[in-house]
Structure 1
């Protein structure tokens, strides 16, 4: 199952807090990528926060994995989880369907 996890910073992060969190956040995110849980990632252009395309069994699993991220556990970020899949209406374009 694919899930988009769209992050947003919900509480300002001071320079000192950023210096404490990011050395944990970055390796944690990289490990999720190497484990195949995060398939692709981007940074939002409209406001601070990452967007992950996740490969998980459920939105609940996506949430439980994201909740372990240091920046989320510290209350600075929250995520919205959107399950996504194939563009099913394209099947209508196949003759005989």
Structure 2
């Protein structure tokens, strides 16, 4: 299953907070990518926060993964989760489907 995890900051980070948490957040995110838990990632253009396309068995598993992220643990970020799958109506374009 794929899950879109859309991150939002709960409040703007002060320079001190950013200096404290980001050196932990960035390597943690990279490890999730290298471990295959995050398939793709982007930075939001409308407000600060990441968007992850995650590989997970369930939405709950994706949530458990993001709950371990330093920004979430510190209370600076939250995530919204959307399960996604193949665009099934495209199958109607194939004869016999």
TM over 0.5: yes
Write the distance in 1 (CA, Å) between the matches of 2:47 and 2:17. 19
Note the residue ranges of structure 2 that are not aligned, 5 or more in a row: none
- The number of aligned residues is 97
Query: How far did residue 11 of structure 1 move?
Result: 1.5
* Contact 1:44 1:51 (8 Å CA) reproduced: yes
Query: How far did residue 50 of structure 1 move?
Result: 0.3
Q: 1:43-83 deviations in whole A, cap 9, x for unaligned?
A: 00111000000011110000000010010111111110000
TM-score by length of 1: 0.97
1:53 pairs with 2:57: no
Note the residue ranges of structure 1 that are not aligned, 5 or more in a row: none
1:62 corresponds to which residue? 62
TM-score by length of 2: 0.97
How do 1:71-82 and structure 2 match up within 5 A? 71-82=71-82
- Spell out structure 1 runs of 4+ moving beyond 3 A: none
